[in-house]
Structure formats: structure tokens, C-alpha cells
């Protein structure tokens, strides 16, 4: 401010001196000319200052303002630089927040008071079947028409609510609505489908174990109630009791085996497993179960395996005995080995009753039975294929199933290449030398 007052005072002094020397009129003219020059210089200084500020933002090379405007420009430049730093920090924070929300394992949707979608992350797209590119700006309740979903949104009010919702896509999500402004609501979705599936399996497991144990216990307790000191149990009753007791024993044994397989990721000891005798033992058990009612054939085993022999034998025995149980009398069962580029498979093929396609994905669930009316007739515990699945997982392999209802099934134990042991070709015996006497 002082430089401006100094210049104005100097103009007044010069005009006064001119007026005293050459008259009042010339003094006023001098004052007017000097003021005009000062205003022109003032405008030019403003223009140069604005140009310099714009150029400094673009980092162009422009001369800095001079005089008092240099100080003014410095203050303006510092303010602009501070504002730019704040804006850059705000942009970084917004970008980081957006990246965090986009990478969250939970779905996030922001809606306004009319339930119009303002923003959503990729996980919300996956959970709710939406697409941000075309669905932003549309009403959420028009896009997801599940009654339970709409009820969960509308019933939460202004409080934080968490409600499980089962969608038509068979996905189960926990829906949480969080109002965070008078006109905006944050909707968080969490996929709990796997947890719901495991909980369902747990409930089914408890119900099935209870049922499987209750039936033989009912038989045993019923016969024991019939027995009195004067009326002993008949041989037939004792045989039934023994059968039911053995059934409970097999069930408990299978449960213990399954528990052991699940508790460790890999076998504690691995050996060279000779396939030919292993397959022969499994088929011998199957032939004993079949009692001559089926044709069971073994094709040559071209290689061996490395793994836990008892586990592999248990898995194969389960498959072969299952084939006997579900193949009508006179049916054919073949056990063979099949190579592919990645490993080897032990394949058990039959021409039995077959399995419908919708049941195949659930065959390895505990106690799952395709035909529950035959569950007691087949003599199995319902845990065999669950055991097979875990054996193969422990050997980095898998259980493959192909089946056609009414035509037969093919169950394969596939092992990766690193578990295949190729046999060395046996040398032919040299002929004995001819001895001439």
C-alpha cells in the first residue's frame, strides 16, 4: 500500500509545482497526464501479473511482475500453490478410497433417497448381477426384484441393519444398510453362500449321523426288550443284532477315517505302490461281495504310483464295491488304467443303473444318496465317496465321474504325473549254454 500512496503523493507534488510555475490550468493538465500514465501502468501491471500467474501454472517461461506487483503476485502464487497442494491431496485421497472400495471383498452400493444408484464397486456387480456402466442412475429395487432384498432395504429405516438374503442366483448375501447423509445410503453386501452351504452340510451331517445310528440302536434295544430270563433270543434275532452292530461299527470306522484324512493335508509316509497287486486285492473283495453275480475284469496296469498305499487301496476298493452294489446281476465291471499328458487314472467302469447329471456334483457329500430308498439295501455307510475325494486331494489328484442314467458309470482316480512310477522293462532271460557231453 505504501508504494501506491508514495506515487500518488509524488504526482500531487509535481502537479502543484507545475501549477505554481505555469498556472493552475497547466498544473491540472500535468496531474491528469501523470494519473493517466499511472492508471495505464497499473493496468499493464495487472495484466502482467495475471499472465505470470497463468504461465506459472502452465510452467511457461514469462517475466515476473515488477515493483509492488511482485509482492502481490508472490502472495497470490503462494495461495494458488497451497490450494493446488490441497486439491492434489484431496484427489489422492479420493483415488485411494475408490481403489480400496473397488478391491473390497464386500460389495458396496451408494444410493440416494429415491434408491437411485450413484456408485457401486465390482463386487456389488457380482453379488447383485448389476453393471455399473449401464445401471448407475437407475433404481436399485427395479433391478433386483427379490422380495426379501427389497424388504431388507425398506425395513431397516435409519438404523444399521444386517439381514441375510437368498437371491434367485442361489447366492446368499448378508445385506447391511448404513445411512451416512440425509439423502444417501451405503449398502454393503457380503457373500455368505459358502458359509451357508457348510452350515447346511453340518446340519445334514448331524441329522444323517443321528438317523444312521438310531436305526440299528432301535433294532438292538427292541430285541433286548424282548429278551427275558425265560424267553431267550432266537438265533435269527441274534444274527440281526450282530448285523446292526457291524453296521454301526462300519459307520464309526468310516467317520474316523474321514476325520483323519481331513485333519492332515498330505500322507505322513509315501511309498512305491505296485498297482497290479493293489488292484487285484480290491477286485478280490468286490468278487466276494458279488458272489458270482457280475463279470469283473482287470486290464493290465502299465505303471505304478507313489503315495500312501492303504489310502489308494481304500479309494479304489470303494469304487469297485460301489460298482458291484449299483450294477444289476449279470452286469459287467472293468478296472483299467488310462494315461493322458498330465498323469494316469485308475478307471472303474460298469453298465449299472447310472446316475442322473443333477446328482453327480453332490456324490462326494457325506451321506448323500441318489436313491434314499435303496440306502439300507446297498449296505454302504454313505461316506465312501467322501473318503475317496479326500484321499485324492491328499495325493494332488481328483475323482472324475461320468455317468448316464440307465446305461452305466465311469469313476476315475486321476493322479498327476509326478506320482506315476514307470516300470523298467524286464530283460529277457539269456538261453542256457548247450553242454555237449
Give how many domains the chain has, as a whole number: 3
Q: Are 325 and 301 in a shared domain? A: yes
Q: Please say which residue of 174, 194, 214 terminates a domain.
A: 194
> What is the pLDDT averaged over residues 384-388?
88
344 found inside a domain: yes
Residues 302 and 267 sit within 8 Å (Cβ to Cβ): no
42 found inside a domain: yes
Residue 349 DSSP SS3: strand
Q: Are 274 and 410 in a shared domain? A: yes
Task: Convert the pLDDT of each residue in 298-343 to its tens digit.
Answer: 999 989 999 999 899 999 999 999 999 999 999 999 999 998 888 9
Residues 163 and 156 sit within 8 Å (Cβ to Cβ): yes
> What is the pLDDT averaged over residues 98-122?
88
Q: Are 54 and 161 in a shared domain? A: no
Q: Are 62 and 3 in a shared domain? A: yes
Of 211, 237, 359, 395, which is the active-site residue? 211
Q: How many CA atoms lie within 13 A of 60 on its CB side?
A: 8
Residue 421 DSSP SS3: strand
- Cell 444410493 found at: 111
Q: Are 35 and 172 in a shared domain? A: no
* d(C-alpha 198, C-alpha 23), whole Å: 108
Q: Are 275 and 418 in a shared domain? A: yes
The larger pLDDT score, comparing residue 258 to residue 68, is at 258
**DSSP 3-state percent helix, strand, coil across the chain (nearest 5):** 55, 20, 25
258 found inside a domain: no
Angle between helices 24-58 and 68-103 (to 10 degrees): 30
Q: Are 88 and 120 in a shared domain? A: no
Closest CA to 57 of 88, 80, 28: 80
Residue 354's CATH number? 3.30.565.10
Q: Are 138 and 285 in a shared domain? A: no
How much is the pLDDT for 156? Answer: 57
Q: Are 2 and 75 in a shared domain? A: yes
pTM, to two decimals: 0.54
Domain span at 134: 104-194
pLDDT band of residue 232 (cuts 50, 70, 90) is low
Q: Are 111 and 89 in a shared domain? A: no
> What is the enclosing helix (H) or strand (E) of 199?
helix 193-226
* d(C-alpha 197, C-alpha 191), whole Å: 11
Q: Is the pLDDT of residue 365 over 90?
A: no
pLDDT band of residue 275 (cuts 50, 70, 90) is very high
Q: Are 91 and 108 in a shared domain? A: no
Q: Are 88 and 112 in a shared domain? A: no
Assess whether 211 carries a catalytic annotation: yes
Amino acid at each position: 500500500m505504501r508504494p501506491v500512496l508514495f506515487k500518488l503523493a509524488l504526482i500531487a507534488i509535481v502537479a502543484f509545482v507545475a501549477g505554481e510555475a505555469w498556472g493552475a490550468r497547466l498544473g491540472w493538465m500535468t496531474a491528469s497526464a501523470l494519473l493517466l500514465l499511472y492508471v495505464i501502468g497499473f493496468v499493464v501491471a495487472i495484466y502482467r501479473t495475471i499472465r505470470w500467474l497463468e504461465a506459472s501454472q502452465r510452467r511457461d517461461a514469462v517475466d515476473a511482475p515488477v515493483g509492488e506487483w511482485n509482492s502481490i503476485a508472490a502472495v497470490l502464487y503462494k495461495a494458488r500453490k497451497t490450494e493446488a497442494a490441497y486439491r492434489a491431496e484431496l484427489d489422492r485421497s479420493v483415488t485411494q478410497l475408490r481403489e480400496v472400495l473397488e478391491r473390497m471383498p464386500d460389495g458396496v452400493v451408494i444410493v440416494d433417497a429415491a434408491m437411485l444408484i450413484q456408485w457401486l464397486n465390482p463386487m456389488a456387480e457380482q453379488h447383485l448381477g448389476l453393471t455399473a456402466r449401464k445401471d448407475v442412475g437407475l433404481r436399485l429395487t427395479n433391478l433386483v426384484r427379490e422380495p426379501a432384498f427389497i424388504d431388507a432395504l425398506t425395513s431397516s429405516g435409519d438404523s444399521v441393519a444386517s439381514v441375510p438374503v437368498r437371491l434367485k442366483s442361489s447366492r446368499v448375501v448378508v445385506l447391511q444398510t448404513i445411512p451416512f447423509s440425509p439423502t444417501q445410503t451405503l449398502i454393503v453386501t457380503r457373500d455368505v453362500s459358502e458359509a451357508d452351504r457348510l452350515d447346511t452340510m453340518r446340519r445334514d451331517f448331524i441329522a444323517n449321523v443321528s438317523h444312521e445310528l438310531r436305526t440299528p440302536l432301535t433294532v438292538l434295544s427292541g430285541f433286548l426288550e424282548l429278551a427275558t430270563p425265560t424267553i431267550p433270543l432266537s438265533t435269527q434275532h441274534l444274527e440281526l443284532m450282530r448285523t446292526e452292530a457291524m453296521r454301526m461299527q462300519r459307520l464309526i470306522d468310516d467317520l474316523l477315517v474321514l476325520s483323519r484324512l481331513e485333519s492332515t493335508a498330505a500322507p505322513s509316509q509315501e511309498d512305491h505302490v505296485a498297482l497290479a497287486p493293489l488292484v487285484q486285492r480290491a477286485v478280490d473283495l468286490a468278487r466276494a461281495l458279488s458272489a458270482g453275480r457280475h463279470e469283473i475284469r482287470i486290464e493290465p496296469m502299465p505303471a505304478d504310483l507313489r503315495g500312501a498305499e492303504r489310502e489308494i487301496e481304500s479309494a479304489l476298493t470303494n469304487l469297485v464295491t460301489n460298482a458291484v452294489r449299483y450294477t444289476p446281476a449279470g452286469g459287467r465291471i472293468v478296472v483299467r488304467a488310462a494315461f493322458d499328458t498330465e498323469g494316469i487314472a485308475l478307471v472303474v467302469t460298469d453298465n449299472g443303473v447310472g446316475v442322473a447329471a443333477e446328482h453327480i456334483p453332490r456324490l462326494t457329500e457325506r451321506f448323500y444318496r441318489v436313491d434314499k430308498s435303496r440306502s439300507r439295501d446297498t449296505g454302504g455307510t454313505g461316506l465312501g465317496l467322501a473318503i475317496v475325494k479326500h484321499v485324492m486331494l491328499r495325493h494332488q489328484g481328483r475323482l472324475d465321474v461320468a455317468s448316464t442314467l440307465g446305461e452305466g458309470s465311469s469313476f476315475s482316480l486321476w493322479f498327476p504325473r509326478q506320482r506315476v512310477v514307470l516300470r523298467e522293462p524286464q530283460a529277457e532271460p539269456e538261453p542256457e549254454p548247450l553242454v555237449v557231453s
